[in-house]
Amino acid sequence: MNDHDILERDLGPTSLSLLVRVRGGEEQAWTKLVHLYGPLVYAWCRRWGLSPPDAADVGQEVFCAVWSSLDGFRRERPGDSFRAWLRVVARNKTNDFWRRQCQQEQSAGGSRAWQYLEASCEPPDEAEISRETTQLYRRAVELLTTDFEPATVAAFWRTVVEGQPAREAAQSLGLSLNAVYIAKSRVLARLREELAGL
Amino acid sequence: MTPSSFTGDPCLAAQVLTQYLRGDLPEGEHERVERHVSVCQRCALALDTFTDGEDDIVLRLRAPEASDPLESEAGCQHMVARLSALPRQPNRGRSHSHGSGDKFAAAWSRDTQSFASPQNSTGCRNDCNSAPLPEVFGRYRILRWLGAGGMADVYLAHDTELDRQVALKAPNLSIQQSSIERERFKREARAAAAIHHPQVCSVFDIGEHEGVCYLTMRYVEGQLLSSHLAAHGRLPAHDAARLVSQLADAVASAHERGVVHRDIKPANVFLDPQGLPILMDFGLASVDRRQEDKLTQAGAVMGTPAYMSPEQAAGQIEQVGPASDIYSLGVLLFEMLVGRPPFTGSASEVIGKILYLPPPKPTELLREVDSELEAICLRAMSKSPEHRYASVVEFRQALQNWLAKHDASKHDASLAPTRTPPRMRWWIAAGVASLLAIVACGVYSLVLHTPTGAIEVRFHDENAQVRVLQEGKVLEIIDASTGSQMRRLSTGRYELALVGDRNQFVVQPARVQLKRGDHVIVEILPVERSLVGNSEQEPAHPTAAATATSTGKLPLNQLDPSTVSPELRSQFLKTVPQNGELTLVGGISAESLQRPQAGMAPLEPPLFLVLSGDGATLAAMHPGKVVVIWDLATQQSTRYMTMPRYDTTMTLSHDGTILASAGGGWPVRVWSLADGMLQSTHEGHTNWVNTIAFSRDGKLAASSSKDGTVRVWDIVNRGNLWARPHGDWSRAVAISPDGLQVASGGQKGLVKLWDIASGKLIRTWTASTHPVLHLQFNPAKPTLAVKDETGALTVSSLTYGKPLLRVAMHPLTFPRFSPDGDTIAFATPEGELVLHDSALPTVRLRLPAPVKGAVLTPLGFSDDGRHLVVSDSTGGVGIFRLGSTPAP
């Protein structure tokens, strides 16, 4: 494959961050957002004590809320993150769920729901945020495969994820060293762009 | 720079290449650099010499970290698939967002119905996608999801090899994820599997299948003891003793093997169809360390810590042992005998009571409880483990001896579960001194109709008043003026409070039960309304307090200087010279602040004190987030609460009936001081909350947070009115006395004034050159006191938006306005108490602290402006009457 072919074909979507594209009504962007963050929301709900079906339900409610109030989310300061906002929404929905549950359980004499009500109020610790970030990046990489040429993805995958030296990757993929670095740089640039502020 | 052999462009600088490699070039640059790199051999070679070891993204992607197993659950995949398939709404634009959102939600609920139901008994086989375990899980076939505990999901499964039904427990993925936790789970499960006792739910099998560890145990059909108690109330003494003795036998066999249960509670006990207790979850409680952490760190997190031993409630995990199980069994016995656990209230309250209050005697709650059984129960519930029974065997023996003495085989069958409607409880709030009078005949009567019958309360004293309350709201007031009334109520929990001179009333009997057959239909119980057990004092009943305020009675006026205790006298008269300007009329000594109730273990000295705007209620926050509320009129503690671990700031409403807390947990919580319960949680801030302020009527609150925003909350309707960025983050916020404006102060001395209704910025001005630490509106004049980090105090005009007065001395403490707005009180770094004119550079009163190092901090004025509440550096609180003429 010619390096220039890759260059020509790789020009995916514009350099707008994912959130901007979702706000702009781009359907694929929404799908991507859901794929990126859905698992995170689901895992939060499960950790906050919800059963698998309840977690899926509450997760759906969370995205409903996100869908209708995305415009309300503004990055007012550089530190504000979409994830923190999403977590607040998820926390509210989970607490709502437990509150409903409490009302039902109180009449039944149970106490399980009480244990969880507000269980999710604790702010995430750094290790948790770091782990979640890693998983976000990993999912983002998996999703990028649709935006790039397979050769670009392969070069990126080998050099970044597998840590193969660029020279070796170039050789085994039949690309020039330049093309490998270009692939790597492009995908990293896209990742940075898409996850900016998320 | 060396020209490239192909393009003639100069080669790229190392800096540019590094950025390029990281994908981090500024916009527009990328294309140019890429064009060059694509053809320049030299630059490609140069790139090859860089390492990308420090690039955060590369490091994350390369790390050998496993993905979150929760995310690979079928439920998750299902959710994502549905979500991404749903909104085919290409024109989701700002103007349409609301409409399309609604449509989306509608489509959603329709679509989720089939998905939300797999918990029902048949759903799983049709829709096993929703279960995290596959239908075939090793030798087990998963039939349905039974429930989730704090640490695990439990499924009903069929063991295909042994052809029997089992309960299969798969720990939460937080446990599955960590190999240490997984080993711990298996170790504990193995220990539990070693216990063979008919009253212990046997563990059959422990294993790991495709990376998921699990255990299977006996599937018990029957009813949870908690459900049984909820439906039937207390049990006959003989049944209670027998059940607890059987459980003690089971616990003893575990203790022999070194396994401690740690979480004995009615929800962990099954009653099998024969009415025999089966204890579940042996030894597993300790696996769920998360839960323990939660408990010890944030009392309010757990809803019902009622069965927890003091050592568990205190978080002394290393002291939790066999004696802790004895304690929990004692609580279980208590609840079965009396119908409720010894300590009730919000979680935080219960934890406080477990730690510091002796349990009530069962006979005080229910006269018919056998005194020997009571003694057994109370000994098991001793605060200190060494005062309990030496072993659970000894405890069981005591119960069996009692059973042998009181043979009542006729009761034996009564525990088999039967279906009866849940009983209705009537909680009668008989505060400290608000006692309920039920007399045989009388002039006035209150008849309450319930779906199951009627109850009539009669009284024949025209000074008495009965109030019917639900959730703190007065539904009905009956007194001589209203005459006899009839009221129909729906099923629920009500409080009947009797207001009046307690000396005229005697409660007789203390407890009323209406039964149908063996079942209690209506029960009237006295409810603890405060921690104050001293009946010599005025009632601390919230209803009574509210009445006093609304009728303009000023509680501090009634304080008599001659009754001030000697400790208080010696504490304050040393530091405050009695020159006729200030008269000590009451207060709380440092010693009392730390020991809100006699017989209680002392608390650590308070971290800070907050006074309500009317000067009548004081909240003291102690280490461990323990908050004690004091009524300054009676100088008695009225409530004891534990705040969530992250809450570091609090404030009281003007009338002292609600408290708001916040901090690193980000939500603003509002607590009712009438019952100590969390009234509402207000979410929205995304970082540390620094300050909260109530409006005077307590209906609104404002908060400022490190997230850079100021938010206004509707406490009544539980909403966020608005959020506005302050620009830089604000550490101070205040609401004007008319409730129309909010002020916030920022890091560069900037003060912003906002319209509370619209959130519009009215005015901005610079009040200081340093970060603003505190703001206070003048209660009577359009000015605002602003104190900055350096201590400089200015008073600004709200009308002109500029400082009018700069106070020459730098106050050490927050300034407090007198109710007429003419005076500001504060302490100087030298410890002087100063009353300063609020408009002129004039000091009205200056009291030097005669003791070196003592600082007199004014906490606030009373509503009538005649009293100043002051704390001194030793931790005590003094109430001083201003002016030389003593109050009537």
pLDDT at B365: 80
What residues are paired with B668 via a beta bridge? B682
Q: What is the DSSP string of A97-151?
A: HHHHHHHHHHHHT--HHHHHTTGGGSPPPHHHHHHHHHHHHHHHHHHHTTTS-HH
- pLDDT over 60 (residue B414): no
A7 has a pLDDT exceeding 50: no
- Least reliable range by pLDDT among B173-177, B256-260, B534-538, B773-777: B534-538
- Tokens representing B12? 């790229």
DSSP B592-627: HHH-SSTTSPPPPPPSEEEE-TTS-EEEEEETTTEE
Whether residue B149 is found in the same domain as residue B247: no
Percentage of chain B beyond pLDDT 70 is: 67
- Are B660 and B751 contained in the same domain? yes
Quote the CA–CA distance of A96 and A103 in Å, as a whole number: 11
Same domain, B309 and B326: yes
Q: Which residues of A touch B345 (CB under 8 A)?
A: none
Q: Which of B23, B132, B229 sits opposite A185 (nearest CB)?
A: B23
pLDDT digits (tens, 9 = 90+) for B549-596: 333 334 677 788 878 888 888 777 766 666 667 788 889 988 888 888
A4 pLDDT more than 50: no
Name the pLDDT band for B711 (thresholds 50, 70, 90). Answer: very high
Span B251-270, average pLDDT: 85
Q: Please name the residue of chain B whose CA is at the shortest distance from the CA of residue A190.
A: B23
β pairing state of B512-516 and B473-479: unpaired
CA B194 from centroid of its chain's CA atoms: 38
Residue B780, sorted as left (phi over 0), alpha (psi -120 to 50) or beta, turns out to be alpha
pLDDT digits (tens, 9 = 90+) for B187-213: 777 777 878 888 888 888 888 887 788
Domain that holds residue A65: 3-194
Give the DSSP H/E element, type plus range, for residue B846.
Answer: strand B843-847
Residues B824-828 have a mean pLDDT of 88
More confident residue, A74 or B91: A74
Q: Tell me whether residue B655 is one of the annotated catalytic residues.
A: no
The answer to whether residue B535 sits within a structural domain is: no
Residue B602 zone, left/alpha/beta (φ > 0; ψ -120 to 50; rest) = beta
pLDDT at B21 (0 to 100): 76
- Mean pLDDT over A168-192 rounds to 82
| Separation of alpha carbons A63 and B92, rounded Å | 15
| pLDDT greater than 70 at residue B159 | yes
Split into its structural domains, chain A has a count of: 1
* pLDDT average, residue stretch A171-185: 82
How much is the pLDDT for B475? 64
Say whether B174 and A95 touch across the interface (CB within 8 A): no
End position of a domain, from candidates B218, B242, B259: B218
**Over 60: is that where the pLDDT of B425 sits?**
no
Query: Is residue B163 included in any domain, yes or no?
Result: yes
B267 in the same domain as B200 = no
Instruction: Output the pLDDT for position A180.
Output: 84
Tell me, yes or no, whether B96 lies in a domain. Answer: no
Catalytic residue chosen out of the listed positions B159, B205, B263, B655: B263
First and final CA of chain A: distance in angstroms? 35
End-to-end CA distance of chain B: 94
User: What pLDDT does A15 receive?
Assistant: 35
Domain check: are B233 and B373 in the same one? yes
Question: Of chain A residues 125-154, which have a CB less than 8 A from chain B?
Answer: 131, 133-135, 137-138, 141
Interface touch B267/A112, C-beta < 8 Å: yes
Residue B430 has pLDDT above 70, yes or no: no
Rounded to a whole number of angstroms, the distance from the CA of B777 to the nearest CA of chain A is 28
How far off is chain A from B289, nearest CA to CA, in Å?
Answer: 13
Residue type, B96: H
Residue B767 lies in a domain: yes
Check A134 against B74: CB less than 8 A apart: no
A85 — pLDDT class (breaks 50, 70, 90)? confident
pLDDT over 90 (residue B492): no
The answer to whether B495 touches B468, Cβ cutoff 8 Å, is yes
Report CB contact under 8 Å: A60, B294.
Answer: no
Contact B92 A25 (CB under 8 A): yes
Q: For residue A121, give the CATH number of its domain.
A: 1.10.1740.10
Max avg pLDDT among A165-169, B704-708, B758-762: B758-762
CA distance B555 to B618: 13
CB contact under 8 A, B21 and A77: no
Q: What is the pLDDT of residues B97-144, one digit of tens each?
A: 333 333 333 333 322 222 222 233 322 322 222 336 777 888 898 887
pLDDT tens figures, B354-380: 887 888 888 888 878 899 999 999 999
| Residue B731: CATH number of its domain | 2.130.10.10
The Cα–Cα gap between B637 and B616 comes to 12
pLDDT of residue B23: 74
Looking at residue B393, its pLDDT comes to: 94
> Residue A123: pLDDT band by 50, 70, 90 thresholds?
low
Residues B249 and B303 in one domain: yes
Report CA B686 to chain centroid distance, whole Å. Answer: 19
* CB contacts, 8 Å: A42 with chain B: 70-71, 73, 75-76, 79-80
Average pLDDT over residues B338-355: 77
- % residues pLDDT > 90 (chain A): 1
Length of chain B: 888
Return the exposure string of B562-599: e unless at least 16 CB atoms fall within 10 Å of the residue's CB, then b.
eebeeebeebbeebbeeeebbbbbbbbbbebbbbbbee
The CA distance from B76 to B625, in Å, is 37
B886-to-A52, B458, B560, B820, B833 alpha-carbon distances in Å: 69, 43, 9, 20, 21
Between the alpha carbon of residue B608 and those of residues B178, B591, B611, B858, the distances in Å are 41, 15, 10, 13
> pLDDT band at B520, cuts 50/70/90?
low
Asked if the Cβ–Cβ distance from A110 to B93 is below 8 Å, we say no
Q: Which residues on A lie below 8 Å from B707 (Cβ)? A: 77, 80
Stretch among A81-95, B331-345, B838-852 having the lowest mean pLDDT:
B838-852
Q: Which of A69-78, A129-138, B17-26, B345-354 has the lowest mean pLDDT?
A: A69-78
Q: What is the mean pLDDT of residues B846-875?
A: 79
Q: What is the arithmetic mean of pLDDT over B236-264?
A: 89
* pLDDT at res. B518: 63
Tell me how long chain A is: 198
Given a cut of 60, whether residue B420 has pLDDT beyond it is no
List B817's β-bridge partners, or say none. B824
- Flag if A56 and B130 touch (Cβ within 8 Å): yes
| Nearest chain B residue (CA) to A91 | B683
What's the pLDDT at A151? Answer: 79
Say yes or no to pLDDT of B68 above 90: no
Query: Do B661 and B801 belong to one domain?
Result: yes
The predicted model gives B88-94 an average pLDDT of 36
Lowest-confidence region among A49-63, B345-359, B743-757: B345-359
Asked which of B790, B807, B824 is the last residue of a domain, the reply is: B807
Q: pLDDT-derived band of residue B389, with 50, 70 and 90 as boundaries?
A: very high
Same domain, residue pair B211 and B230: no
B87 inside domain: no
Four-residue CA torsion sign, B683, B684, B688, B691: negative
* Of the ranges A27-31, B317-321, B543-547, B744-748, the best mean pLDDT one: B744-748
The domain boundary residue, chosen from B482, B502, B529: B529
Q: What is the 3-state secondary structure (H, E, C) of B512-571?
A: EEEEECCEEEEEEEECCCCCCCCCCCCCCCHHHHHHHHHCCCCHHHHCCHHHCCHHHHHH
The DSSP bridge pattern shows strands B203-209 and B212-218 to be antiparallel
Q: pLDDT digits over B617-634, tens only? A: 999 888 767 889 999 888
Of B509, B514, B524, B510, nearest to B428 (Cα)? B524
Residues of B in contact with A25 (CB under 8 A): 89-93
Predicted-assembly ipTM surpassing the 0.90 threshold: no
Cα separation, B415 vs A116, whole angstroms: 31
pLDDT band at B443 (very low <50, low <70, confident <90, very high): very low
Rounded to the nearest angstrom, the minimum Cα separation between B718 and chain A is 13
Phi, psi of B447 (to 5 degrees): -110, 125
The pLDDT of residue B85 is 59
Which one of A121, A141, A158, A192 makes the best mutation probe of the B interface by having the most chain B beta carbons within 10 Å? A121
DSSP codes joined into one string, B68-120: PGGGGSHHHHHHHHHHHHS---TT--TTTHHHHHHHHHHHHHHHHHHHH-TTS
Amino acid at B7: T
Say which residue, B286 or B168, is predicted with more confidence.
B168
Q: What percent of chain B has pLDDT over 90?
A: 13
- Exposed/middle/buried for residue B27 (C-beta within 10 Å: 0-12, 13-18, 19+): exposed
- pLDDT in the model for residue B751: 92
Decide if A179 touches B, using CB distance below 8 A. yes
Helix axes A177-194, A126-144, angle to 10 degrees: 120
The reply to whether residue B707 touches residue A4, judged by beta carbons under 8 angstroms, is: no
Provide the pLDDT confidence category of residue B497 given band limits of 50, 70 and 90.
low
Strand partners, B827: B833
Residues B856, B847: Cα–Cα separation, whole Å: 9
Q: Are residues B227 and B213 in the same domain?
A: no
Chain B: residue whose CA lies nearest to A76: B725
Confidence band, pLDDT 50/70/90 cuts, at residue B502: very low
Q: Round the average pLDDT of chain B to a whole number and report it.
A: 72
Can you read off the two tokens belonging to residue A21?
A: 């594209």
| Top-confidence residue, A198 or B37 | B37
Q: Is position B708 within any domain?
A: yes
Domain that holds residue B300: 223-409
Asked whether residue B692 is domain-assigned, the answer is yes
Least confidently predicted of A52-66, B161-175, B458-472: B458-472
Number of structural domains, chain B? 5
SS3 of B458-485: EECCCCCEEEEEECCEEEEEEECCCCCE
The H or E element spanning position B389 is none
| Structure tokens that stand for B22 in this block | 């990281």
Q: What is the DSSP letter of B25?
A: P
Contacts of B82 in chain A (CB under 8 A): 60
**B879 found inside a domain:** no
Cis bond upstream, residue B509 (ω within 30): yes
Higher pLDDT, B818 or B809: B818
Instruction: Please indicate, yes or no, whether residues B368 and B476 belong to a single structural domain of this protein.
Output: no
- Report how far Cα B256 is from the mean position of its chain's Cα atoms: 37
Residue in A with minimal Cα distance to B47: A181
| Strand partners of residue B711 | B703, B723
Inter-chain contact B145–A52, Cβ cutoff 8 Å? yes
pLDDT computed for residue B252 by the predictor: 92
Q: What is the pLDDT of residue B2?
A: 44
Any B CB within 8 A of A2 CB: no
Q: What is the pLDDT of residue B510?
A: 55
Half-sphere exposure of B133 (CA within 13 A, CB side): 32
Handedness of CA A14, A17, A18, A24 (dihedral sign): negative
- Which amino acid, one-letter code, is at B476? E
Mutation target to probe the B interface, by most B beta carbons within 10 A, among A10, A30, A51 is A51
CA B720 – CA B689 distance, rounded (Å): 15
* B395 Cβ contact list (under 8 Å, min separation 6): B248, B326, B329, B330, B376, B380, B388, B389
